Amino acid sequence: MNLFAQEKLLFTPVQKNLNPIPLIFAFPNEYTVGITSLGYQLVWANFSLRNDVSVSRLFTDIHENLPRNSELVGFSFSWELDYVNILNLLESLNVPIYARDRNENHPLVFGGGPVFTANPEPFADFFDIILLGDGENLVGNFIDRYQEIRQANREEKLTYLAQTEGIYIPSLYHINYKQNDGKIEDIKPINNQIPDSVEKQTYRGNVLSASTVVTEKAAWENIYMVEVVRSCPEMCRFCLASYLTLPFRTASLEASLIPAIERGLTVTNRLGLLGASVTQHPEFDTLIDYLSQAKFDDVRVSIASVRTNTVTEKLAKFLKKRDTRSITIAIESGSAKIRQLINKKLENEEIIQAAINAEAGGLKAIKFYGMVGLPEEDLLDIDATIDMMGQVKKVAPKLKVTLGCSTFVPKSHTPFQWFGVNSESKKRLQYLEKNLRKIGVDFRPESYSWSVIQALISRGDRRLSKLLELTRNYGDSLGSYKRAFKELKGELPPLEYYVHDHWALDEILPWQHLKTALSQETLIKHLHKNHE
């Protein structure tokens, strides 16, 4: 079956010029996963709406007709371990996996997406070009700049592109280390034509994104996605989704949300409202009233994230009527001490009331997201989470209560980027599982081993490229990474340095030359607020 034939497009590709840029745009996973990515959809549509680009899609299982001599090969990168598929797809296209091994006969390989904007350094040696930030203006600027230099040689193209905001050319920056397996000494451009730092590009409009294609073959079948908010105003100190995407932006109800919803509901009756903190849109109640109209009675609505103190009985009743049976909220911890330390502005009473309102509104289940291993956490804080779940079971006995729990992983560009992973986290996950089972809470822990790998990549530098290549051959288990570290001993710091060590505040970070909304000095101020 041709999966592309099942698609319902919400845009019309334009007719191409005589000599459009042949471009392959890839998602390093299967079609059903990739086509569910709103970011991938938007960038692909952006390319399709240009008359100077001829774009072909590539997934790990299927692809459109690919050009023989593509000038550009791009990747949308959303999940760290998909790097294996990036390397596999490059080899399938007969493109060397390392940028340094490519010549004038090879395409320029570019990438974008949240993994790159957070910290591209572990993957930097594989890419000629990395796009940092929001795609709305950045993708168009990239193609415009490329057209201006299209006939030049590879080196001239990269040097020219490096002078554009949001475009990072890794090969034009030299990393000096105090020793092969030591810390970073400095990060400098290779000459004075190249800027000292690259700032991510931020889109500041009030018309946010929405699906450009709907298909029953997506992982979320036939869903039409609408971005309600971007970033999060809460700024929990560990949270990449908040700090990396600042400032908090909301879609205009009249200019963005309602037109997008009406467009999407012409092709499907399943609607997803997306954002890191959807219910904090200032006109969220008005949006719910709009969707409560009788004409939408057959529409199924799901909400990506809900702030605890916005879970009202009205919201629960609306969701039940729109065929949603459960609600998901992030509490991080049942400990008031920990929530204060991480800047989670949430009281115990609000968590209890959210459960009461969810049950009163007719929902069947509530899922909490928690975390272990946060700075200064001890076993009493874990007990507080167990107590909190027990209270929820008592006040809302008809609800199925689930706690999904991850291990704290330090993320770049956040105040907690200097902390390491707590090695006691695995035991604390096991302690939670044992005790929550006793009170009837469905506990769903995230793999501790995966958290270690995630931290490695989150805090990694360019020396990891060789390690990543090795682990691709060994498999993506934690044991494979440890084996690769042994083989490369003396060429890079040990696993413990990247994952478990606390880093000094004056240490040169791998992403020091890549700028986001807040400076290092501001992040340090936010970190010190822990104890105020």
Report if residue 321 sits inside a domain: yes
Q: What is the pLDDT along the chain (532 residues), one digit of tens a residue?
A: 588 989 999 999 999 999 999 999 999 999 999 999 999 999 999 999 999 999 999 999 999 999 999 999 999 999 998 999 999 999 999 999 999 999 999 999 999 999 999 999 999 999 999 999 999 999 999 999 999 999 999 999 999 999 999 999 999 999 999 999 999 999 999 999 999 999 999 999 999 999 999 999 999 999 999 999 999 999 999 999 899 999 999 999 999 999 999 999 999 999 999 998 899 999 999 999 999 999 999 999 999 878 999 999 999 999 999 999 999 999 999 999 999 999 999 999 999 999 999 999 999 999 999 999 999 999 999 999 999 999 999 999 999 999 999 999 999 999 999 999 999 999 999 999 999 999 999 999 999 999 999 999 999 999 999 999 999 988 878 899 999 999 999 999 999 999 999 999 999 999 999 999 999 999 999 999 865 5
If asked whether residues 290 and 172 sit together in one domain, one would say no
Q: Which of 133, 168, 199 is the last residue of a domain?
A: 199
For residue 239, how many C-alpha atoms fall within 13 Å in the half-sphere facing its CB? 23
The DSSP-derived string for 468-505 is HHHHHHH-SSHHHHHHHHHHTBTTB--HHHHHTPPPPT
If asked whether residues 130 and 68 sit together in one domain, one would say yes
Q: Where are the alpha helices (DSSP H) in 222-282?
A: 240-243, 258-264
If asked whether residues 297 and 195 sit together in one domain, one would say no
If asked whether residues 131 and 266 sit together in one domain, one would say no
DSSP state of 209: -
If asked whether residues 23 and 163 sit together in one domain, one would say yes
Between CA 125 and CA 180 the distance in angstroms is 17
Report if residue 476 sits inside a domain: no
Domain count, the chain: 2
Q: Which of 149, 184, 199 is the last residue of a domain?
A: 199
Tens digit of pLDDT for each residue in 503-531? 999 999 999 999 999 999 999 999 998 65
Whether 398 contacts 345, CB under 8 Å: no
Question: pTM of the full predicted structure?
Answer: 0.95
If asked whether residues 290 and 145 sit together in one domain, one would say no
With 0-12 / 13-18 / 19 or more C-beta atoms within 10 angstroms meaning exposed / middle / buried, residue 390 is middle
Report if residue 491 sits inside a domain: no
Between CA 150 and CA 162 the distance in angstroms is 14
Report if residue 42 sits inside a domain: yes
Q: What is the CATH number of the domain that holds 52?
A: 3.40.50.280
Between CA 452 and CA 507 the distance in angstroms is 21
Report if residue 309 sits inside a domain: yes
Report if residue 453 sits inside a domain: yes
If asked whether residues 136 and 85 sit together in one domain, one would say yes
Whether 74 contacts 23, CB under 8 Å: yes
Residue with tokens 């086509």: 35
Report if residue 205 sits inside a domain: no
If asked whether residues 190 and 289 sit together in one domain, one would say no
Q: Which of 199, 230, 264 is the last residue of a domain?
A: 199
If asked whether residues 166 and 263 sit together in one domain, one would say no
Q: What is the CATH number of the domain that holds 384?
A: 3.80.30.20
If asked whether residues 150 and 28 sit together in one domain, one would say yes
Beta-sheet pairing, 8-9 with 72-76: unpaired
Tens digit of pLDDT for each residue in 239-280? 998 999 999 999 999 999 999 999 999 999 999 999 988 999
If asked whether residues 167 and 279 sit together in one domain, one would say no
If asked whether residues 342 and 423 sit together in one domain, one would say yes
Report if residue 211 sits inside a domain: no
What domain range is 438 assigned to?
A: 222-459+503-531
